[in-house]
Amino acid sequence: MKYKLSRTCKDCKNVDVFELTKLQAAFSHTDDIDKFWNVNCSVCGSTNCKMINKESVKIDEELLNLWGMDSNLSFATQDEDIILADVAYFDIILNSIDDDRFLDKKIDLLTSALCILLFDNIVSPEEYTSSENQQRQRIAALVVKALSKRKSSIIRAQYLISDYVKKLVFPKLNI
């Protein structure tokens, strides 16, 4: 599958569209992406770029494995754990979090992502319907079960975990 990157010219506002591979689209700050900042506009020829947008890629096991073993790959320039803190990624995180081939920093980010996922499913229940809260409680129970087995990893990763997340999540895990 091909993904799209759009580059908006600062001078004439033209939008050029380019195709990316899955790997190019998944990882930020690759040389492949950075080069588009300096590409000539197809209309006016300017290299002045206003912005670049690229299609989001659903993170799968292949991408997570590549990311987990390479310190140079990132899904975002910041807040990778927030991006990964999605119930859609829960199973692949669990399949990867104990992988000895993953770098410690990446395991810490996965651990932080699970803490954020738990936080997201226990905070502010008054903002959700009864049905939504039941679903959130089911998700929270799964995450608590997964994190309870990894308390030492949580302690190691706490430098990544925001204080407001720790305040709600750590008591649920008896930390």
**CA–CA distances in Å: residue 145 to residues 115, 142, 159, 167:** 12, 5, 22, 18
Torsion of CA 38, 40, 44, 47, to 10 degrees: 20
Together in a domain, 84 and 28: no
Q: Which two tokens stand for residue 168?
A: 């709600």
Together in a domain, 73 and 151: yes
Domain boundary among 22, 37, 54: 54
Q: Which two tokens stand for residue 18?
A: 């380019």
Domain that holds residue 24: 3-54
Together in a domain, 118 and 148: yes
Which tens digits make up the pLDDT trace of 8-43? 999 999 999 999 889 988 986 666 677 889 999 999
> Which residues is 20 bridged to in the sheet?
3
Asked whether residue 56 carries a pLDDT value surpassing 90, the answer given is no
Together in a domain, 39 and 66: no
Reported pTM: 0.86
Together in a domain, 150 and 108: yes
Together in a domain, 150 and 91: yes
Place of tokens 């829960």: 90
Together in a domain, 117 and 41: no
- C-beta of residue 166 within 8 angstroms of C-beta of residue 158: yes
For residues 124-144, average pLDDT? 96
Domain count, the chain: 2
Closest CA to 59 of 31, 11, 91: 91
Domain boundary among 35, 54, 73: 54
